[in-house]
């Protein structure tokens, strides 16, 4: 083997496990070596479940030796964002308030992963209550970007992004309310998929904003994401937003053919005020897809001008509702960055909230019309490179700008509309990874994954790994 086990993608190591060339015990042991080596610097894991993982690896080994191989994720070490419930384990939500909370049941996604034979390495760091994009956690310390440890890894699923990028697990689960899977995927140079709203159950995941929340895979490769999605999907009566959708073999959909794919490019919204280097990298990526057979069509979703307003009113109002009791009784226990946001969420009126929902419907309708003309929208995932830890303002094209507003600008529309969106690594700006975002119609995950798969083959990211600066 030319690669160490921990460096491999799931798609590379799973066949070795299936054919008994490698034991799940060897795999998990190798991954934990990376955890031991890197966790102190990167501050990824809030809880490491090494002993349980070693036990589960032995059980997986026995099952496979006895001819009971359960599929791609059997014996694969996975980390979980710390707002997803795991029976008998803590879930802090990255907060002081839930510091000692222990769940007495498994989230639906955890139950499904257990049934698929997956292994679990522990719970990873996140932005407090998932309400932020830096994972600069005031209670557990900042999580650090493995490409440059002075910089943020994105958030709120920052720990998940770093764990995968730094080979401290082989895949992870994140949550996404305004971009929280795709932002760290872009910042850390991995694949992140926010599925269609309702496709993956959120039961057993602590909410930030119930109408915007999603749960999805964060992986090293597109095929890994496709395989993980196959496990996670399915109607769940325990989740009121869950939908019935036909099962799709996402891996089979990775044909590598684009067959006259039409890429929509909205210059006014998705390419407005972007870091010039990121702009060039993503446009080069689109050109590479054109060279592979796709066509590009300029298209304008006019109501996207209201997306930021609609997203912020919705998330502020819903988050304030969820946290109102603790905000009254324990205001001093919230971090200094999210406390004002939760207080701000009490200001919008019912009229403001309902207006935001009407705008949201209009944006959704215009996207549906746009998807009659194009197959996917492509944009940068982030308009800026990951800022330094502690920075709140950066300069973009000669003007000072707030980093939170900038970092959710490209990703927020997919949450508002509930449409699927995939971030794939696209290149490097200033030595930091750049993500390309693909957004499609509802339930077009197979299409997005296939486009991402084609791009992965031509992208210059292949096999580049972060070398940590200390």
Active site amino acids: 81, 156, 180
264 φ, ψ (degrees, to nearest 5): -90, 135
Q: What is the largest CA-CA distance in the chain?
A: 63
Residue with tokens 């930030």: 208
Q: In this structure, are residues 289 and 260 in contact, taking their beta carbons and an 8 Å threshold?
A: no
| Both structure tokens of 345 | 């969420």
Q: In this structure, are residues 420 and 443 in contact, taking their beta carbons and an 8 Å threshold?
A: yes
Task: Give counts: helices (H), strands (E), the chain.
Answer: 15, 15
| Both structure tokens of 277 | 């280097």
d(CA 445, CA 467) in angstroms, rounded, equals: 32
Give strand ranges (E) for 125-196. 136-137, 141-142, 171-176, 191-194
d(CA 415, CA 214) in angstroms, rounded, equals: 8
d(CA 121, CA 300) in angstroms, rounded, equals: 44
DSSP state, residue 328: H
d(CA 415, CA 130) in angstroms, rounded, equals: 14
13-19 long-range contacts (CB < 8 A, ≥24 apart) are 13/76, 13/170, 14/72, 14/73, 14/74, 14/76, 14/227, 17/64, 17/69, 17/74, 17/75, 17/76, 18/64, 18/69, 18/74
- Do β-strands 376-380 and 393-396 pair in parallel, antiparallel, or remain unpaired? unpaired
């Amino acid at each position: 083997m030319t690669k160490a086990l921990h460096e491999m993608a799931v798609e590379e190591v799973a066949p070795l496990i299936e054919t008994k060339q490698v034991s799940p015990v060897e795999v998990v042991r190798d991954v934990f070596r990376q955890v031991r080596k890197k966790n102190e610097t990167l501050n990824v894991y809030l809880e490491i479940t090494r002993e349980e993982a070693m036990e589960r690896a032995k059980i997986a080994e026995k099952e496979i030796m006895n001819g009971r191989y359960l599929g791609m994720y059997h014996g694969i070490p996975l980390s979980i964002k710390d707002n997803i419930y795991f029976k008998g384990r803590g879930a802090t939500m990255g907060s002081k308030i839930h510091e000692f909370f222990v769940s007495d049941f498994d989230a639906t996604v955890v139950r499904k992963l257990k049934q698929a034979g997956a292994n679990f390495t522990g719970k990873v760091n996140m932005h407090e209550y998932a309400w932020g994009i830096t994972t600069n956690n005031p209670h557990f310390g900042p999580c650090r970007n493995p490409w440059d440890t002075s910089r943020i890894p994105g958030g709120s699923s920052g720990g998940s992004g770093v764990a995968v990028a730094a080979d401290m697990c082989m895949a992870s689960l994140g949550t996404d309310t305004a971009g929280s899977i795709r932002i760290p995927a872009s910042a850390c140079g991995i694949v992140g998929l926010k599925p269609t709203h309702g496709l993956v159950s959120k039961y057993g995941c602590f909410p930030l904003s119930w109408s915007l929340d999603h749960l999805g895979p964060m992986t090293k490769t597109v095929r890994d994401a496709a395989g993980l999605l196959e496990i996670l999907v399915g109607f769940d009566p325990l989740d009121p937003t869950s939908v019935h959708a036909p099962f799709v073999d996402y891996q089979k959909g990775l044909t590598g053919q684009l067959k006259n794919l039409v890429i929509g490019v909205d210059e006014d919204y998705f390419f407005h005020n972007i870091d010039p280097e990121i702009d060039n990298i993503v446009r080069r990526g689109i050109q590479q897809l054109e060279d592979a057979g796709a066509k590009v069509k300029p298209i304008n979703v006019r109501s996207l001008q209201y997306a930021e307003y609609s997203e912020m009113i919705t998330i502020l109002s819903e988050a304030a509702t969820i946290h109102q009791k603790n905000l009254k009784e324990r205001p001093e226990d919230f971090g200094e960055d999210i406390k004002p946001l939760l207080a701000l969420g009490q200001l919008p009126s019912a009229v403001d909230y309902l207006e935001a929902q009407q705008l949201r419907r209009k944006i959704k309708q215009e996207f549906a019309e746009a998807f009659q003309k194009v197959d996917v929208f492509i944009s940068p995932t982030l308009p800026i490179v990951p800022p330094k830890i502690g920075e709140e303002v950066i300069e973009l094209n000669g003007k000072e700008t707030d980093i939170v507003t900038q970092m959710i600008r490209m990703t927020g529309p997919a949450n508002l509309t509930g449409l699927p969106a995939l971030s794939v690594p696209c290149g490097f700006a200033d030595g930091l990874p750049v993500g390309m975002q693909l957004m499609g119609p509802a339930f077009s995950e197979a299409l997005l994954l296939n486009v991402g798969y084609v791009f992965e083959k031509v992208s210059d990211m292949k096999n580049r790994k972060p070398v940590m600066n200390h």
